[in-house]
Amino acid sequence: MDAAATTSTVLKSVCRACHGGCGTLMHVEDGRLTKVRGDPDSPLNRGRLCPIGSATLDLVYHPDRLKHPLRRVGPRGAGKWQRISWDAALDEIAERLLAIREEFGAEAIALGTGTGRHHIRWVSRFGNALGTPNWCEPGFAQCFHPRVNTCLLTYGDFPVCDFTGETKPECILYWGHNPLNSGPDGETRFNARDSLEGNPKIIVVDPRETELAKRADVWLRVRPGVDDALALAMLNVIVTEDLHDRAFVARWTHGFDALAAHLRPYTPEWAAPITWVPAEKIRAAARLYAATKPSMLEWGCAIEHTPKCIQTVRAISMLPALTGNIDVPGGWVFGMKGLGRFPSLIENLSPEANAKRLGADKFKLLGGQGADLPAAHIPTLLQAMREGKPYPVKAFLVFGNNTLTTYANTKLVRESLMKLDFMVCADLFMTPTAELADIVLPAAAWPELDELAGLPTAAANVVLAQQKVVQVGECKSDEEIFVALARRMKLGLCEEPVKDVLNQQLKAGGVGMDFDQLAQKGYYKVPFRYRKYEERGFKTPTGKIELYATRFEAMGYAPLPYYEEPPESPVSAPEVAREFPLVLTTGARIPYFFNSEHRQLPNLRKAYREPRAEIHPETAALHGIAENDWMWIETRRGRIRQKAKYAPGTDPRVIHAEHGWWFPEEGAPEYGVWRSNVNVLTDNAPPYDPQMGTYQLRGLLCRVEKAEA
């Protein structure tokens, strides 16, 4: 052991640089973080860290970190700032918000945040304390919550892969999900890799030839955006060939006969020309999946990036149900809920206030009665900012989101934000979005704050404590900022110390430790029981898994899944396809960055300097594009440049472009946000998913052209 290590304090924590969960050992010397290592004792990563987690010191001590509050001087977006104290910042925010609430109502104040952040539930909690139903997250209608809300309504709970048990799966179906890079929802990427140890059969549904596709027994190279057709055809094979688990289906599902009749037209021959997947491959996948048990379904956000996402999720979610892979070792399981209910303060919103949530009347799974954590509909919210309709939204408080990079249609987003009377951004760094704010607040990064995490996400049979080990500048955690603001505004709610809330959750979950005790231990694993439905059924109106969704029917939505082309596709918009003949999919995750983050970290940027778009070599040749050339990608909305990367395994008609790109090194106020940002190409116009309000991010129409160097 070296001398430094012997004098350092080593504290346990949990990395939250992605959706999180990897246990860490935090080495601290004289109040400074000197080393971050994976905790060998953690069941979620067993000592490992990914490139992002390994770059934690670069992040925490980056010279560009925001370290004190700033107030805008000069016109909005002109890039001129003045340092102010926390007292001045909080006073000004409190005063402005109270005035807006007084004049326009609380709903004129909206809150925004980013994906699965430690503080995500605090954002709506603060909104609820303030009286506004309008909070949002760019992933909400198009990431994870379509799966969560669909399963809560039809399974009564949210299933995840059984990663923390002893049994390895015999088969894994990866659908629009590449957890070796992303490891997002319900697992860490290390759990996902470990699940391959038993050499399971692998089925991959992905337009790109990923590492998993290369390793797959069956790879279904689907046309982006039509996963619904493919899922229906797989269900058709399982039902017509009688491959389902008859005993499980008879005892534990509702509506099988109706489903079987409904599926009849959706044959593999019907699906082949729609999906570009040969009928025989669809059959092979369905047969292999049904025959090999236990199996896990690993699904990802790719299936949620179309305006028809809920019914796609519905169809795919039936595969484990029909084959009886539910709450069994090595299958799809329900968590043990080690964390008690988060005190969301939703009860503070009157029914009238809830009804004002933008989009809630239309999209009931996003903002209304079908939503677990009701959120506002982003396109409707942006319209309210721009046009004051259906009522004005005057203020926007953004806690951890780079709106100009991750919302669809960047140009319209900017126009909307420019109309605000008052905007606040809390972030780790100045971003092209924060440049549009009136006040910018320095947020604490994950090693600088106390929080709890329940993982695998939403299943929560492992409860983890993330503890504050260092202080950087004047940074405060988002949680602390909400408490400070609530006190300043004398809301009478959301004013208790953060740790009290964490302790309440631990107590209600029956963990038997308070936060400080848990932080010393690192994690708590709730003893697991399988087949819990045998004790009390499923928490649905029929007590069974609802293949025929009675709750959907009651809300006026289709109780059985169906196929629908995305609105912008070669089939539904042939006149657009004449000009923009290629199919564009976006945002497949890369291991070096989390969404729009980390572009300023030298070690990660060394590994991955430029944005890359994948193109088949024949398509590239047709346009005179060589590998590593800059290439224009253009849609009806605009054009951007990314570097061409040959993808011989992808269909020659498909382009994939990365998301989240901006160039911090290019400086304020725009940081090159227009050059390679894929959301310059996307749209947030209707039609939306009728249940969830989702817009289209994958399967759009584009064309390419060689760009100058």
Q: 21 or 133: whose CB is closer to ligand SF4? A: 21
Candidates 144, 185, 111; CA nearest to 375 is 111
Contacts of 320 (CB under 8 A, 6+ apart): 159, 295, 297, 326, 331, 332
Whole-angstrom distance, CA of residue 189 vs CA of residue 20: 10
Candidates 171, 178, 179, 173; CA nearest to 200 is 171
Q: Amino acid identity of 86?
A: W
Whole-angstrom distance, CA of residue 28 vs CA of residue 10: 6
Both structure tokens of 250: 């008879």
**524 secondary structure, DSSP code:** E
CB of 427 to ligand MGD, least distance (A): 5
Q: Select from Mo ion, ligand SF4, ligand MGD, none the partner in contact with residue 53, using the beta carbon and a kind-dependent cut-off of 5 to 8 Å.
A: ligand SF4
Site for ligand MGD contains 402 (CB under 6 A): yes
Q: Select from Mo ion, ligand MGD, ligand SF4, none the partner in contact with residue 478, using the beta carbon and a kind-dependent cut-off of 5 to 8 Å.
A: ligand MGD
CB of 448 to Mo ion, least distance (A): 24
**Maximal CA-CA distance, the chain:** 72
Q: 96 or 221: whose CB is closer to ligand MGD? A: 221
Candidates 22, 4, 33; CA nearest to 471 is 33
Whole-angstrom distance, CA of residue 384 vs CA of residue 379: 9
Q: Which stretch binds ligand MGD (CB under 6 A): 74-82, 339-347, 551-559, 694-702?
A: 694-702
The residue count for binding ligand MGD (CB under 6 A) is: 61
Q: 422 or 482: whose CB is closer to ligand MGD? A: 482
Q: Do residues 587 and 143 lie in contact, with contact meaning Cβ atoms separated by under 8 Å?
A: no
**526 secondary structure, DSSP code:** P
Site for ligand MGD contains 401 (CB under 6 A): yes
Q: Which stretch binds ligand MGD (CB under 6 A): 62-70, 135-143, 273-281, 338-346?
A: 135-143
Q: 92 or 479: whose CB is closer to ligand MGD? A: 479
Task: Out of 56, 178, 195, 383, name the contact with ligand MGD by CB under 6 A.
Answer: 178
Site for ligand MGD contains 143 (CB under 6 A): yes
Q: Which of residues 417-436 bind ligand MGD (CB under 6 A)?
A: 426-429, 431
Whole-angstrom distance, CA of residue 260 vs CA of residue 245: 14
Residue 559 preceded by cis peptide, ω within 30: no
Residue 669 preceded by cis peptide, ω within 30: yes
Q: 143 or 384: whose CB is closer to Mo ion? A: 143
Candidates 445, 391, 431, 396; CA nearest to 417 is 396
Q: 184 or 200: whose CB is closer to Mo ion? A: 184
Candidates 558, 562, 709; CA nearest to 643 is 709
Q: 320 or 559: whose CB is closer to ligand MGD? A: 320
Site for Mo ion contains 143 (CB under 5 A): yes
Site for ligand MGD contains 630 (CB under 6 A): no
DSSP state letters, 532-549:
THHHH--SSTTSSEESS-
Q: Select from ligand SF4, ligand MGD, Mo ion, none the partner in contact with residue 114, using the beta carbon and a kind-dependent cut-off of 5 to 8 Å.
A: ligand MGD
Q: What mask of x and - would describe binding to Mo ion in positions 61 to 100, judged by CB under 5 A?
A: ----------------------------------------
Whole-angstrom distance, CA of residue 345 vs CA of residue 327: 32
Site for Mo ion contains 139 (CB under 5 A): yes
Q: Amino acid identity of 688?
A: Y
Site for ligand MGD contains 699 (CB under 6 A): yes
Q: Which of residues 271-330 bind Mo ion (CB under 5 A)?
A: 301
Q: Select from ligand MGD, ligand SF4, Mo ion, none the partner in contact with residue 224, using the beta carbon and a kind-dependent cut-off of 5 to 8 Å.
A: ligand MGD
Candidates 326, 314, 339, 310; CA nearest to 546 is 314
CB of 614 to ligand MGD, least distance (A): 9
Cα-based angle 473, 594, 709 (whole degrees, multiple of 5): 105
CB of 563 to ligand SF4, least distance (A): 35
By CB under 6 A, name the binding residues for ligand MGD. 18-19, 114-115, 117, 138-139, 142-143, 175-179, 181-182, 184, 205-208, 210, 222, 224-225, 227, 300-302, 399-402, 405-406, 426-429, 431, 443, 478, 585-589, 591, 593-597, 659-660, 678-679, 682, 697-699
